[in-house]
Amino acid sequence: MKVYHYHTETKEYLGAYKLTEGDKNPFDKSQYLIPANAVKTWPTVKANENQTVIFNGSGWSLTPDYRGLVYWLETGEKDDISALGETPPNDAIDYDPVALAEEKTAEYEQAQAEAQALAEQQAAEAEATPEESTS
């Protein structure tokens, strides 16, 4: 007989375990003793990305699983998800907007400096080249 274990706190499915003769009830050898946090019902659902199978007390169901996800809000506030069942807020983004703005500002300032240097170089070259006279 197989039983299906779940985590004590999160209730997430951990795996199957085949009961042995040692798991039989010593007072009724026709019955197995079911370990704590295990059930005889196999998980009837399959988790997709960002989901986990949990035992809800009467059967297996799916719950969101974004644990470990790091996200930012548009304000630049960084957060992460550490608990099963939490989902990112609707306005979450997967990059640091402050760092991106700083990077884009640095790129813009570099481009401006390069354009200024090129303009100065072209002006210097124009002054160094004598104008052709017309006679």
Count other Cβ atoms within 10 Å, centred on residue 10: 17
Of 3 and 106, the structure prediction assigns the larger pLDDT to 3
Give yes or no for a contact between 73 and 88, defined as CB atoms under 8 angstroms apart.
no
pLDDT score at 40: 96
What pTM was computed for the model?
A: 0.65
Residue 26: burial class (beta carbons within 10 Å; 0-12, 13-18, 19+): exposed
Question: In the numeric block, which tokens belong to residue 113?
Answer: 């400096």
Convert the pLDDT of each residue in 49-90 to its tens digit.
999 999 999 999 999 999 999 998 888 889 999 999 999 999
- Which sign does the torsion angle of CA 31, 21, 39, 45 carry? negative
Distance of CA 18 to the CA centre of its chain: 34
Q: Are 51 and 61 in contact (CB under 8 A)?
A: no
- Residue 20 in this model has a pLDDT that exceeds 70: yes
- Whole-number pLDDT of residue 73: 87
Give Rg (Cα) of the chain: 33
State the pLDDT at residue 22: 93
Which element (helix H / strand E) includes 16? strand 13-18
Residue 12 — very low, low, confident or very high, per pLDDT cuts 50/70/90? very high
Instruction: Please report, for residues 25, 63, 79, the alpha-carbon distance to residue 51 in angstroms, rounded to integers and kept in the order given.
Output: 36, 6, 20
Whole-angstrom Cα distance, residue 88 to residue 64?
Answer: 10
